[in-house]
A and B are shown apart, each in its own frame.
Chain A
């Protein structure tokens, strides 16, 4: 069964610290993986998308990695800011389905001053 699992479920860190969020998936065959940021009370916003051939992609202080062999992705946040407090959702698309996006449950990140 195609699944996307994220860890940790929630995370609290101090402002200025770094953190890494994990995403493991079983979707096969694989097409692409996206990370979304969802602020409380808002819709998800795309941070990055990675295809099979990409290992690392950065978007400002956000760096996503992908290991297609182990079916793992991570989102690293550097020098966290209060505005980084949000849920981060990993979404994987399989290659053989018309529009099947498998959504993870998300990691709720809280940045404390």
Chain B
């Protein structure tokens, strides 16, 4: 399996622009997670899906952030409008069954976002 695939790997955009990050989870995994990582705050869970349904979006910082999972093999994280403080690495991750069973969460390589 190719693992969790994210795109783009790097993006530089101007403040106010819309940013869309994409993720393809590992085939067969029923949980998908979006994380954000910064030097100051470390890894933060933004939202996660189970069987394409958003379960907990309490980590989404503001209404400017939205995430969708239209099918089992694709998810997007959108920021509109983007701000410089959104600059971070955004990780998508997936797992089979819940972590409560001890199953490992597999991370993508991340999307490095810089908002200028």
Contacts and interface: CB of A to CB of B under 8 A. Distances in A.
Interface in A62-113: 89, 93, 95, 98-99, 101, 103-106
Given A43-B93, A43-B108, A98-B55, A32 B102 contact: yes
Interface in B18-56: 31, 42-45, 48, 55-56
B104 A49 contact: yes
Interface string B68-87: 00000000000000000000
Contact of A105 (B4, B42, B98, B99): B42
A79 B69 CA distance: 44
Interface residues of B, number: 22
B43 A44 contact: yes
A55 interface: no
Contacts of A42: 109-110
Given A42-B109, A98-B56, A103 B42 contact: yes
A51 B93 CA distance: 22
A26 interface: no
Given A43-B109, A89-B43, A105-B42, A99 B104 contact: no
Contacts of A34: 104
Contacts of A103: 42-44
B103 to A, nearest CB: 9
B82 to A, nearest CB: 22
Contacts of B100: 31, 93, 95, 98-99
B102 A43 contact: no
A49 B102 contact: yes
A44 B105 CA distance: 9
Given A43-B108, A93-B99, 15 more contacts: A41-B110, A42-B109, A43-B110, A44-B91, A44-B107, A45-B107, A46-B104, A89-B43, A93-B100, A98-B98, A99-B31, A99-B48, A99-B55, A99-B99, A101-B45
15 contacts: A31-B100, A32-B102, A41-B109, A43-B4, A43-B108, A44-B107, A46-B104, A49-B104, A89-B42, A89-B43, A93-B100, A95-B100, A99-B55, A99-B99, A105-B42
